[in-house]
Structure 1
């Protein structure tokens, strides 16, 4: 699909309750960690980035990954994968975006930010990983 048929919108992933001291980052187009952040005392981490949306809807962008004809998602890298070679963890969070509804997309096109809140700590007290469902998904004002 041509970029001319796509509209850029903003996504924000907020990781609540990240394990303190563990590096997190977005996964970029070349699999390199982007925007690495560490929570000093368990305060939330926030990652803002653009994606493009086309008819369907279809999702595109440097952080967008694909699996099959429909599934689109974003990775958050953790520990060693986020750029900390001394970390005991080498994990990724997989956050689906293909199921974002048309109303949210329309609100983001009008200037909002689609914010997805993820619980960053697993039941065992270690960094959450694998496919995670947002505990909240909403459109917030930009700025």
Structure 2
């Protein structure tokens, strides 16, 4: 899974949510991730275990999940991609209520090179503006 070509829309949603929920110590509680995604704690623990196996996340015994260096890089890159895609979707579909899932699905299907080109063509997009979408 460290190869980002294998990231699903669900994987990307988890990584972006974990990034948003990170605390000062760099960790995010699995229970908070579950609440934010409206999923069960066991589902989140299973995904975190999958991320641990892939080298993106490490966990402690208290339910805190931390990005590895590779995981932090992947999450940051996808946050940047998400900002560009979400801005494009919001501009073209202003009446749509929740575009987060659509944006994550697009991110999972569009090659990284094309996403990089999109980001380069949208320099005014700020990541923080779009993560609220």
Kindly indicate which of the two structures has a greater share of residues assigned to strand. 1
> TM > 0.5 between the two?
no
